[in-house]
Amino acid sequence: EADIYQTPRYLVIGTGKKITLECSQTMGHDKMYWYQQDPGMELHLIHYSYGVNSTEKGDLSSESTVSRIRTEHFPLTLESARPSHTSQYLCASSAKKEAQETQYFGPGTRLLVL
Amino acid sequence: KNQVEQSPQSLIILEGKNCTLQCNYTVSPFSNLRWYKQDTGRGPVSLTIMTFSENTKSNGRYTATLDADTKQSSLHITASQLSDSASYICVVSDRGSTLGRLYFGRGTQLTVWP
């Protein structure tokens, strides 16, 4: 079981609200990622970070933003949630030193925007 | 276009039976291929990882094969258990960038019945 945590696990909010999805890992990994996954569909990378103060957008365009102030923490923020943001959000981390880099995933946050 | 295709989309088997899941990919250049298991409401967990030179790798009752020439992989599950019910995701990594970009399949949803 990987030491990567996400909160909340489930969130139901109204349109226009600002939300922050939390992700933290205790493995000291440099790289962290956010994925979006709809039911029966593949994971899409929306943000990643190589380390503190480093953030990049992923393959899938997203209105969310991220920050990386501490190695262990990689929160994702939606300034104004919309129904189209309803999805599952998965956070992951991986270590730069591993010969075969494997991503370790958190349990995910299921977001429903009404 | 780099893609990962998995079949079947879903599969139902009886407890104790064996099954084989397929993954075809067009990702190039190729670095490695991973199989992940994703339980409902959880994040994916790595089962196996294979590089170009590896043909087969086992993890308990899970055996993955790789044919890099035909760009095909399979995951064989022996003596299935109820706990094997999950989505199995094939993930291919390229060498085309420092990120080692990952390409995800949509997964095969396996249901094991008693």
User: B92 and B100 in contact (C-beta within 8 Å)?
Assistant: no
Cis peptide bond prior to B29, omega within 30° of 0: yes
B43 CB near a chain A CB, below 8 Å? yes
One digit per residue, the tens of pLDDT, for chain B of length 114 reads 779 999 999 999 999 999 999 999 999 888 889 999 999 888 999 999 898 888 999 999 999 999 999 999 999 999 999 999 999 999 998 875 555 678 999 999 999 999
CB–CB contact B41 A90 (8 Å): no
One digit per residue, the tens of pLDDT, for chain A of length 114 reads 568 999 999 999 999 999 999 999 999 998 999 999 998 889 999 999 999 999 999 888 788 999 999 999 999 999 999 999 999 999 999 875 446 778 899 999 999 999
Of A53, A69, A64, nearest to A89 by C-alpha is A64
Say which of A45, A102, A106 has its CB closest to residue B43: A106
Of B22, B18, B19, nearest to B9 by C-alpha is B22
Q: Which residues of B touch A101 (CB under 8 A)?
A: 100
